[in-house]
């Protein structure tokens, strides 16, 4: 059988560049608790929504301007190019505790992972082939990443911190040992990184954070300002992109062309999401943008599974993606769960290698979302 090597290696020939500010921001606000309304003038860094989870980070305006439209899904802010901004918050001098956690949340940081742990693993591998954000941050933003790590250690107080990096890389972080991992996808997935570092599958005394997580925390700590940008790999280079920047603006700024039938993906080639509109805004956690020509791959379709077994052979979680996807397709979500739905890492290898071109990852995510929504409804 042909074994394809999906490399995570990258050649960093440039630093991180800034994208020209857009004329408007489109922020996804579905399921968020809005803190502003249509017609209101907002300053850069002003809170516009809170996360419904008690551990989630708030959302902020990446530029000053006027809220022009608000619906269940999106908020549109017309940018005015002004300098009006919120005052910074000095979180670096605050003592660990509820007040500091709340301050970090108010600045856009999720805090669910910030609890004591024995071993802290820092995932320093690029998240997907074609995305080099992690290595770029370790190379050019080490001080910011280490500021985030220092803040994390104040809460997690780990006995040991391990930085997992691609074999052959020479990156390091203060106070951390280094563990090398073969730079082949899906070895970068958190569960597989932890297994490589500890020799155990999902040990209860170990937590993993990504370099991107530390960079975001470090940015807030060093500036005192809310999180209003992400770092993305686009066409082989890395850019600092304001949250809410329309994809159309990003592509126009970089002279990227897209024609009818092409697919534009936010995220990576395995786990990313195809966008429904170029007016969609960049979100937290978006670290890549790809334009895939219509002639590159056969179209995804709801074809019948032919039981070839390719998805099972490629699955790092050792589940039967073909079976789970069929249960999801016919809305038999409990049966999908019974057969290992929640063990899925969502690496996307199943759909990427499916001979029938079935949307396996999408079916799996659909089943998880439906079960989650059902249980939240029962609790509420």
DSSP 149-191: HHHHHHHH--SEEEEEEETT-----TT-EEEEE--BTTTTSHH
Kindly report the pTM of this predicted structure.
Answer: 0.94
Q: Is residue 114 part of a domain?
A: yes
Q: Is residue 6 part of a domain?
A: no
Residues 27 and 80 in one domain: yes
Q: Is residue 180 part of a domain?
A: yes
The residue segments making up the domain with residue 238 are: 228-297
Residues 365 and 258 in one domain: no
Label the pairing between strands 65-70 and 41-42: antiparallel
Count other Cβ atoms within 10 Å, centred on residue 69.
13
Residues 154 and 208 in one domain: yes
67-71-75 Cα angle (round to 5): 35
Q: In sequence order, what are the residues at sequence separation of 6 or more whose Cβ sits closer than 8 angstroms to the Cβ of residue 17?
A: 237, 238, 239, 240
Q: Is residue 100 part of a domain?
A: no
Confidence tier at 33 by pLDDT (50, 70, 90): very high
Strands, DSSP E only, in 211-287?
A: 229-234, 237-242, 263-266, 273-274
Q: Is residue 189 part of a domain?
A: yes
- Distances from the Cα of 258 to the Cαs of 70, 129, 169, 240, 263, in angstroms? 28, 21, 35, 22, 8
Is there a contact between 109 and 103 (Cβ–Cβ < 8 Å)? Answer: no
Residues 273 and 330 in one domain: no
Residues 123 and 208 in one domain: yes
Q: Is residue 244 part of a domain?
A: yes
pLDDT digits (tens, 9 = 90+) for 203-241: 999 999 999 999 999 999 999 999 999 999 999 999 999
Q: Is residue 16 part of a domain?
A: no
Residues 159 and 110 in one domain: yes
Residues 213 and 236 in one domain: no
pLDDT digits (tens, 9 = 90+) for 15-26: 999 998 899 999
Q: What is the CATH number of the domain that holds 208?
A: 3.40.50.11540
Domain count, the chain: 4
User: Helix/strand/coil (H, E, C) string of 129-152?
Assistant: CCCCHHHHHHHHCHHHHHHHHHHH
Q: Is residue 49 part of a domain?
A: yes
Residue 55 scores a pLDDT above 90:
yes
Residue 1 scores a pLDDT above 50:
no
pLDDT digits (tens, 9 = 90+) for 244-277: 999 999 999 999 988 888 899 999 989 999 998 9
């Amino acid at each position: 059988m042909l074994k394809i090597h999906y490399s995570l290696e990258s050649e960093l020939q440039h630093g991180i560049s800034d994208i020209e500010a857009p004329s408007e921001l489109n922020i996804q606000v579905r399921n968020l608790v809005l803190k502003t309304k249509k017609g209101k003038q907002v300053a850069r860094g002003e809170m516009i929504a809170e996360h419904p989870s008690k551990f989630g980070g708030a959302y902020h305006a990446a530029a000053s301007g006027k809220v022009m439209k608000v619906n269940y899904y999106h908020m549109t802010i017309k940018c005015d190019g002004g300098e009006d901004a919120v005052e910074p918050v000095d979180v670096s001098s605050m003592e660990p505790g509820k007040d500091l956690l709340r301050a970090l949340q108010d600045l856009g940081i999720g805090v669910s992972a910030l609890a004591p742990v024995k071993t802290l693993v820092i995932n320093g591998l690029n998240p997907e082939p074609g995305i080099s954000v992690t290595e770029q941050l370790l190379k050019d933003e080490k001080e910011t990443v280490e500021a985030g790590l220092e803040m994390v250690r104040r809460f997690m107080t780990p006995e040991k911190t391990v930085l997992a990096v691609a074999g052959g890389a020479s990156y390091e972080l203060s106070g951390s040992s280094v563990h090398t991992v073969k730079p082949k996808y899906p070895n970068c997935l958190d569960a597989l990184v932890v297994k490589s570092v500890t020799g155990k599958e999902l040990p209860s005394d170990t937590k993993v954070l990504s370099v991107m997580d530390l960079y975001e925390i470090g940015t807030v700590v060093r500036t005192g300002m809310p999180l209003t940008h992400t770092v993305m790999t686009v066409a082989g280079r890395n850019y600092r992109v304001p949250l809410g920047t329309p994809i159309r603006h990003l592509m126009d700024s970089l002279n990227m062309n897209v024609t009818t039938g092409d697919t534009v993906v936010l995220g990576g080639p395995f786990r990313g999401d195809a966008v429904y509109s170029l007016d969609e805004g960049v979100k937290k956690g978006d670290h890549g943008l790809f334009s895939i020509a219509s002639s590159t791959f056969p179209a995804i379709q709801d074809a019948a599974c032919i039981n070839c077994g390719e998805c099972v052979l490629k699955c790092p979680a050792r589940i039967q993606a073909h079976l789970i996807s069929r249960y999801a397709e016919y809305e038999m979500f409990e049966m999908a769960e019974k057969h290992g739905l929640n063990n899925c890492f969502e690496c996307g290898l199943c759909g990427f290698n499916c001979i029938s071109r079935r949307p396996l990852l999408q079916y799996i995510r659909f089943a998880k979302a439906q079960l989650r929504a059902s249980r939240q409804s029962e609790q509420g």
